[in-house]
């Protein structure tokens, strides 16, 4: 279990991360989100011990994160850190060796991961000769070659097509089921919704939202109503509490500021003809993110 408690980091006089606290349990995928410059990379570096904290504590399974536990950690950064003149095989021997693995263990794990990501044929190719997406696969393999107990994934799907994203997702879920604590960071809110039960949003180093995603959605007062049928948009827009109405692909999307408005909308819609759909939905994480982050900038 990873525990981050009241962590602060100053660069000179500027606080990049302020009083940050969160926990990632074994077998949990935790979302750490924020716009550019919010403090995510700074946090990752403090967690893996690459950067000193100004204040607070970080422990993994009850102990401080230092060289004794680095063999148990994996980190997939946005920046490529591959030795591109090496072959995939030699790169794996190098990384695995750094993580304290012996040669046969590395080769067995490499073969397994190459097969899972469907790139067995590149095992003896130089990394610089591979496409961007395949280099991303190799980078991912290196970050999990040691079956990490703690894994940080920063924009893991960048440069991947949808088919390869599915292959990555399967491996991430496999690690989760094996008990790995995973921190997942992405600007793609649909991916965050797919993986993360709990999350935290940083704005300029401060936590503006944190907790269980289901609860966050329930607590967010604004909801959406999806309607299909012959309605008059203008009439809906006039209802007090309706924030906006848009029409796309045959459906009206009605944004309301509180659940109490549903009855009023329903009352009007029940006077209309050919209604084939009336569904009240939770807002997407994307909407919540924009409101929370945008609001904090005002």
Q: Closest distance between ligand ATP and the C-beta of residue 287, in Å?
A: 20
Q: Closest distance between ligand ATP and the C-beta of residue 200, in Å?
A: 12
Q: Closest distance between ligand ATP and the C-beta of residue 151, in Å?
A: 17
CA dihedral angle for residue 17, residue 40, residue 179, residue 120, rounded to 10 degrees: -160
35/272 with CB nearer ligand ATP: 35
Residue identified by tokens 């009336």 is 278
16/200 with CB nearer ligand ATP: 16
200/254 Cα distance (integer angstroms) = 28
CA–CA distances in Å: residue 220 to residues 201, 280, 282, 284, 291: 15, 14, 8, 10, 10
42/164 with CB nearer ligand ATP: 42
Q: Closest distance between ligand ATP and the C-beta of residue 206, in Å?
A: 11
Q: Closest distance between ligand ATP and the C-beta of residue 46, in Å?
A: 10
17/73 with CB nearer ligand ATP: 17
125/187 with CB nearer ligand ATP: 187
- Distance between start and end Cα atoms, the chain: 36
Q: Closest distance between ligand ATP and the C-beta of residue 159, in Å?
A: 16
Q: Closest distance between ligand ATP and the C-beta of residue 141, in Å?
A: 23
38/265 with CB nearer ligand ATP: 38
Q: Closest distance between ligand ATP and the C-beta of residue 156, in Å?
A: 14
Report the 3 state secondary structure along the chain.
CEEEEEEEEEECCEEEEEEEEEEECCCCEEEEEECCCCCHHHHHHHHCCCCCCCEEEEEECCEECCCCCHHHEEEECCCCCCCCCCEHHHHHHHHHHHCCCCHHHHHHHHHHHHHHCCCHHHCCCEHHHCCHHHHHHHHHHHHHCCCCCEEEEECCCCCCCHHHHHHHHHHHHHHHHCCCEEEEECCCHHHHHHHCCEEEEEECCEEEEEEEHHHHHHHCCCEEEEEEEECCHHHHHHCCCEEEEEEECCEEEEEECCCCHHHHHHHHHCCCEEEEEEEEECCCHHHHHHHHHHHHHC
42/91 with CB nearer ligand ATP: 42
Would you tell me which residues interact with ligand ATP (CB under 6 A)? Answer: 11, 16, 34, 36-42
37/97 with CB nearer ligand ATP: 37
């Amino acid at each position: 279990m990873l525990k981050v408690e009241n962590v602060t980091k100053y660069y000179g006089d500027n606080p990049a991360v302020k009083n940050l606290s969160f926990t990632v349990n074994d077998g949990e995928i935790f979302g750490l989100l924020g716009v550019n410059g919010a403090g995510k990379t700074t946090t990752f570096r403090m967690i893996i011990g690459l950067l000193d904290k100004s204040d607070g504590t970080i422990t993994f399974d009850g102990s401080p994160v230092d060289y004794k536990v680095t063999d148990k950690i994996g980190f997939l950064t946005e920046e490529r850190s591959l030795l591109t003149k090496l072959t995939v095989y030699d790169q794996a021997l190098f990384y695995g060796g750094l993580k304290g693995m012996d040669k046969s263990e590395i080769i067995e794990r490499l073969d397994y991961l190459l097969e899972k990501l469907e790139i067995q044929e590149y095992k003896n190719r130089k990394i610089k000769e591979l496409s961007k997406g395949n280099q991303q696969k190799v980078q991912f393999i290196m970050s999990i070659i040691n079956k990490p107990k703690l894994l940080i994934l920063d924009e893991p799907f960048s440069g991947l097509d949808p088919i390869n994203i599915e292959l990555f997702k399967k491996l991430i879920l496999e690690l989760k089921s094996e008990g790995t604590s995973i921190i997942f960071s992405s600007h793609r809110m649909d991916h965050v919704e797919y993986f993360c039960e709990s999350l935290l949003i940083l704005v300029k180093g401060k936590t503006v939202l944190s907790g269980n995603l289901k609860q966050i959605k329930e607590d967010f007062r604004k909801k959406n109503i999806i309607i299909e049928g012959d309605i008059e948009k203008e009439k809906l827009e006039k209802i007090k509490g309706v924030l906006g109405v848009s029409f796309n692909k045959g459906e009206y999307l009605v944004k309301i500021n509180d659940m109490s408005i549903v009855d009023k909308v329903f009352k009007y819609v029940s006077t209309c003809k050919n209604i084939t759909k009336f569904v009240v939905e939770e807002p997407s994480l994307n909407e919540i993110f924009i409101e929370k982050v945008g609001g904090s900038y005002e």
